[in-house]
Amino acid sequence: MSKAPIRIGIIGCGQIAQQHMATYAKIHDAKMVGFADISEEAARKSAEEYGVGFYTTDFRELLARDDIDAIDVCLHNNFHMPATVAALEAGKHTYCEKPMAGSYVDAKTMLDKAASVGKNLHIQLATLYSSETRAAKDLIDAGELGDIYHARSTGFRRRGRPFVDGYGTPSFVQKRNSAGGALYDMGVYHISQMLYLLGNPKVERITGKTYQKVAMDAKRQETSGYDVEELGMGFVRFEGETTLDIIEAWAINLDSFEGPYLVGSKGGVRLDPFGFFHSSGDLDLNSIANLGSARSRWDSVKGDGPLYSNSQRHWVAALQGEIPLLPTKDIALNTMLISEGIYLSQKLNREVSADEVLQASVSTAVTM
């Protein structure tokens, strides 16, 4: 017996929303039924493209509909919390773009609201669904790495700052909209990936530094109001002996970074390019993997591959009760703690504790 499709309303019809819409259109069990955007033209164009009759410039009108099961929030970071809380209060399961919010305290508000109203909250953490992540998780679960004690999170762009380097809008590089730069835009993907593989451990202490040094087009710099970091670095101490180091660049004068990895007492795994490293007696062994054939077996033999193929397919499957929802809200919240800890460490010029970050966190939310 086929299940009824999950009926979805989308708040925000900009650049990232277009990717969400295109993905939903390919999911048989998902049905887009309404769009909201402060730009009537953007909302109307989306509705026309996907054959949907309802669009509005007031997202509250979307939330008031009783033919919507779930809401997808596709707004700039500082708008996430108010829209997500409103959607949850309206009785809708809610999916939100990354990062979870503009500040830890706002993200915690979202998580607490979901718990209080008994609705699912899911955060878009795309790297959790990659073949590399699943392969690494399989090795970890099989005990092939032993006791994992250190991980590295890396993200590299040679010169890929939004707007000033030729794509996107100024909103991406303005604290009043985005709250942060490279760490919030790209770093969330890589930090959350490591937290997932480490089992989302408890953060104890954080130290970090951010930079804005690489020259940019002077006119674009002036018109953009650019006031976020292009390079963020950090070091995290978790409960126990596990540590994580972080480097995330929108722009840097290098050709590449070493790919992210995790190392343990028995073996190590690098995710990009994927490799497994271990020793047998006097032999140091470097293994590569055919991830394409593994993906084929996850799909056809284990049968759950498609349900973990991307964030939205997973979300829809979880809402239909096919699989448990990955704890993305908890991982995303921990990612917010680490990122905000780096910013606080930069501000205070010293290592900070997790408790200090929690106490210092203030809302950056903007209500539409």
Contact 128, 192 (CB under 8 A): yes
Q: Please say if the pLDDT value at position 344 is more than 60.
A: yes
Q: Which residue matches tokens 């090795």?
A: 139
Which two structure tokens, joined as six digits, stand for 343?
């910013």
Q: What does the pLDDT read at residue 159?
A: 96
Residues 6+ away with beta carbon under 8 Å from 155: 182, 186, 187, 189, 190, 247, 248, 249, 257
pLDDT at 168 over 90: no
Q: Model confidence over 234-286: pLDDT tens digits? A: 999 999 999 999 999 999 999 999 999 999 999 999 999 999 999 999 999 99
Give 281's contacts (C-beta < 8 A, 6+ positions apart).
Answer: none
What would the pLDDT profile of 8-53 be if each residue is shown by its tens digit?
999 999 999 999 999 999 999 999 999 999 999 999 999 999 999 9
pLDDT of residue 2: 62
Average pLDDT, rounded, for the chain:
97
Lookup: tokens for 100: 């979870």
Q: What's the pLDDT score for residue 281?
A: 95
Q: What is the value of pTM for the model shown?
A: 0.96
In percent, the amount of the chain with pLDDT more than 70 equals 99
Q: Mean of the pLDDT values across residues 304-308?
A: 95
Check pLDDT > 60 for residue 229: yes
- Spacing of C-alpha 268 from chain mean position: 24
Q: Is residue 1's pLDDT more than 60? A: no
Six-digit token string for 230: 């292009």
Share of the chain above pLDDT 90, in %: 98
Q: Which two tokens stand for residue 46?
A: 């989306």
Determine the Cα–Cα distance for residues 216 and 213; give it in Å rounded to an integer. 9
Asked whether the predicted pLDDT for residue 78 surpasses 80, the reply is yes
Q: Which residues contact 272 (CB under 8 A, 6 or more apart)?
A: 132, 259, 260
Secondary structure, 3-state, the chain: CCCCCEEEEEECCCHHHHHHHHHHCCCCCEEEEEEECCCHHHHHHHHHHCCCCCEECCHHHHHCCCCCCEEEECCCHHHHHHHHHHHHHCCCEEEECCCCCCCHHHHHHHHHHHHHHCCCEEECCHHHHCHHHHHHHHHHHCCCCCCEEEEEEEECCCECCCCCCCCCCHHHHCHHHHCCCHHHHHHHHHHHHHHHHHCCCCEEEEEEEEECCCCCCHHHHHHHCCCCCCEEEEEEEECCCCEEEEEEECECCCCCCCCCEEEECCEEEEECCEEEEEEECCEEEEECCCHHHHHHHHHHHHCCHHHHCCHHHHHHHHHCCCCCCCCHHHHHHHHHHHHHHHHHHHHHCCCEEHHHHHHHCCCCCCCC
Under the banding of pLDDT at 50, 70 and 90, the label for residue 110 is very high
Residue written as token pair 């084929």: 296
Q: What value does the mean pLDDT take over residues 195-222?
A: 97
| Predicted pLDDT of residue 167 | 86
Question: How far apart (Å, rounded) are the C-alpha atoms in residues 61 and 36?
Answer: 8
